[in-house]
Amino acid sequence: MNELTVITKDHVGLLAEVSELLGKKKIRIESLHADASRGTAILRLYTESPAKAKAALKGAGFEVMDSAILVIRVDDKPGKLARVARILSDNGINMKNLYLLKQDKSEKLFAIETTDNDAARKALKDYV
């Protein structure tokens, strides 16, 4: 799966601009993580149509990067995410980013990008 990252100058209305743009193109945002610090905004988007979303955002003048992510299922119990982190660490795989996509009463879905997604997929075979 692909995640889109938009890095831009932070300003009032940025999220409105991005979400309206994608909405007009009929692109549903499935997950969004937004951070702003020192005048810079970083938006990480997971959409149903990443190529279409990337084209729309670039067409509007945004700098957009895409990267492969893994989606992992983790039981919603204490220590389960720690187990995932330990497996990656023990295999020499660094997490570049991680965020929650969805949760219900029994499990959570996380988006994860690592320094080696192929190795991570193998190491986390019980979670992907």
pLDDT tier, 64 (very low <50, low <70, confident <90, very high otherwise): very high
Listing DSSP states for 108-124 in one string gives: EEEEEEES-HHHHHHHT
Q: Compute CA distances 115 → 21, 77, 94, whole Å.
A: 31, 26, 5
CB-based burial label for 67 (10 Å; 0-12, 13-18, 19+):
middle
Whole domain around residue 19: which residue ranges?
Answer: 2-67
pLDDT at 80: 95
128: in domain: no
* pLDDT (tens digit per residue) in 65-103: 998 899 999 999 999 999 999 999 999 999 998 988 889
Domain count, the chain: 2
Q: What do you get for the CA distance between the two ends of the chain, in Å?
A: 12
The b-or-e profile of 96-113 (16+ CB within 10 A means b, else e) is: eebeebeeeeeebebbbb
Tell me: pLDDT of 2 over 90: no
The residue among 67, 99, 114 that closes a domain is 67
The residue among 45, 67, 89 that closes a domain is 67
The mean per-residue pLDDT over the stretch 34-59 comes to 95
pLDDT tier, 128 (very low <50, low <70, confident <90, very high otherwise): confident
pLDDT tier, 8 (very low <50, low <70, confident <90, very high otherwise): very high
